[in-house]
Amino acid sequence: MYAIVDIAGQQFKVAKDQQIFVHRLQGDEGASIEFDKVLLVDNEGKVTVGAPMVAGSKVTATILSHLKGDKVIVFKKKRRKGYKKKNGHRQYFTKIQISNIVA
């Protein structure tokens, strides 16, 4: 059984006991959260597609940790002008584990 769910503006294909990284979510570590924006549910070959959401379905997850991703270097340069700009960025992520999918 799997579902396609909208989490913080992004779509993820999730299954039970799967761990995924999503953009930073509100909540403490160990807290349980529910996502009700389920777009598709596949239950052993029986596919239910929402228009736009599947009515009555939800995905429950547990927050495992809050962390930061790898550093991405942003480097800008204009040749022969002496212009150089170096900047770094680290995205905030939340690691969650899918605990239940209700179709």
Q: Model pTM?
A: 0.84
Kindly report the number of other CB atoms within 10 A of residue 99's CB atom: 14
pLDDT (tens place) for every residue of the chain, 103 residues total: 999 999 999 999 999 999 999 999 999 999 999 999 999 999 988 999 989 999 999 999 999 999 999 999 999 999 999 999 999 999 999 999 999 999 8
Q: Is the dihedral of CA 17, 21, 27, 30 positive or negative?
A: positive
Domain span at residue 7?
A: 2-102
- Please enumerate in sequence order all residues whose Cβ is within 8 A of that of 19, keeping only pairs 6 or more positions apart, or say none: 64, 95, 96, 97, 98
How many domains, in total, are found in the chain?
Answer: 1
Q: Report the alpha-carbon distance of residue 18 to residue 97 in Å, rounded.
A: 6
